[in-house]
Structure 1
Amino acid sequence: MFERFTRGARATVKGAVAQAERAGAGSVTEEHLLLALLEQEGGRAAFAVTALGLHDRRASLDAAFAEARRRGGLTRADTDALAGIGIDLGAIVSRVEGAHGEGALDADRRGRRGWWSGHRPFTPGAKTVLENALRVALGRGDRFIGEEHLLLALTAKPGVVADVLAEHGATYTAVQRALYGPDAGRGDAGGQGHAQAG
């Protein structure tokens, strides 16, 4: 599948690995893919990210991801659902951190496989994003997978990244419109083979 990636998409994947390395993470997550996309310059995804104001709210995105990691990767919807049945996740996190230290529920602190070999595997969620990027590209009739397809796939996969993006106004529909115009998603096949591999 990687041979179908454009230069920008390849740079994003390599950037995600670099993000994981800088964070000391044992694996590459969806969050790392998004952070790598935010660093891209030029191309459709960078345009959409700028148009949606995500560059200007990078600190807010980082804070939202840090809070989600602190909650053990649970989304706000998960937290609200637990609160609905009387479980105060904030209190649980505080007690766990009191006993085991700050960030004890952070999934990145666990499972540092691969650190000794320099290889950082992609999490199942990150792999799903890459697979869904192919589906997005095929659904649009594009022959190659560009960083714009990765961005759309990140908004479509339920979880923390999609929730944080939605909280910042970057839903699947909003990203699609920023990428392809106001009529995107209304039966417009658009994007016929625009991306080119490099």
Structure 2
Amino acid sequence: MFERFTGEARATVVVAQDSARFLGHRHIGTEHVLLGLLRGTDSVAGSVLAASGITRERVVADIERIEQAGQESDRERAEKDAAALRTIGIDLDAVRAAVEDSFGPGALDGGTPHSEAIQGPWWRRRHAQEQARPCPPRGHIPFTPRAKKVLELSLREALALKHGYIGTEHILLGLVRENQGLGARILRDEGVQLEQLRERVLAELQRAG
């Protein structure tokens, strides 16, 4: 399939991978594909997205906002779990203290040295560790199933339009058609009507053709 990709489409995939690496993510999701499509305004997808008010900066901010909300939800669940265990006589802080007495400070944190341990209840230490952006992953970063679906749908869109290539416009059409990924969610959060976005892409292709 990739042999059908135009230079712009190939660059989109490269930038998607670079964006995932920059954000410290160990996968390439639909949100990274969206960032790849925003690499410039000289492509069909880039120009249509720019005309819709979508920028890389806003998408990155949306990704970080969604991640933060997820981390806060995890913390709330951890607090509720700890409270539920206390009602049946299990104190997680006491359990942690007993483990560290036997195996050393930070034993439940993958060996975090005591001097680097963050003070407070265990869930606060864990949350603080998760807050730090991980180091950029090295080597190959895999596509998520949804991102793979977007690329598969881009081929179907190209075939439906009787195009012998896959360009950024087809990738954007695939992202819109997939509809369930984080990339589509971000577009909706930004006030974009996905069906209208699709119509704009098709209109741009008709105008250019």
Q: Is the 8 A contact 2:35 2:59 kept in 1?
A: no
Name the aligned partner's letter for residue 173 of structure 1: E
> In 1, Cα distance between the equivalents of 2:129 and 2:63?
12
Which residue of 2 is the match for residue 92 of structure 1? 76
Which residue of 1 is the match for residue 152 of structure 2? 131
Name the aligned partner's letter for residue 52 of structure 1: S
- Following TM superposition, by how much is the alpha carbon of 1:60 offset from its aligned partner in structure 2, in angstroms? 3.7
> In 1, Cα distance between the equivalents of 2:129 and 2:169?
32
- Superposition CA RMSD, Å: 3.4
Distance 1:94 1:125, change over 3 A: same
- Following TM superposition, by how much is the alpha carbon of 1:103 offset from its aligned partner in structure 2, in angstroms? 8.0
Alignment size in residue pairs = 165
Q: Does 1:177 align with 2:199?
A: yes
Which residue of 2 is the match for residue 154 of structure 1? 175
Distance 1:59 1:19, change over 3 A: closer
TM-score, normalised via structure 1 length: 0.68
TM-score, normalised via structure 2 length: 0.65
Name the aligned partner's letter for residue 147 of structure 2: A
> Higher helix proportion, which one?
2
> In 2, Cα distance between the equivalents of 1:156 and 1:40?
22
- Following TM superposition, by how much is the alpha carbon of 1:89 offset from its aligned partner in structure 2, in angstroms? 4.6
Name the aligned partner's letter for residue 34 of structure 2: L
Larger Rg: 2
Distance 1:20 1:90, change over 3 A: closer
Gaps of 5+ in 2: 81-122
Distance 1:101 1:131, change over 3 A: same
> In 2, Cα distance between the equivalents of 1:154 and 1:21?
20
Which residue of 2 is the match for residue 64 of structure 1? 62
- Following TM superposition, by how much is the alpha carbon of 1:7 offset from its aligned partner in structure 2, in angstroms? 1.0
> In 1, Cα distance between the equivalents of 2:131 and 2:77?
8
Q: Is the 8 A contact 2:29 2:182 kept in 1?
A: no
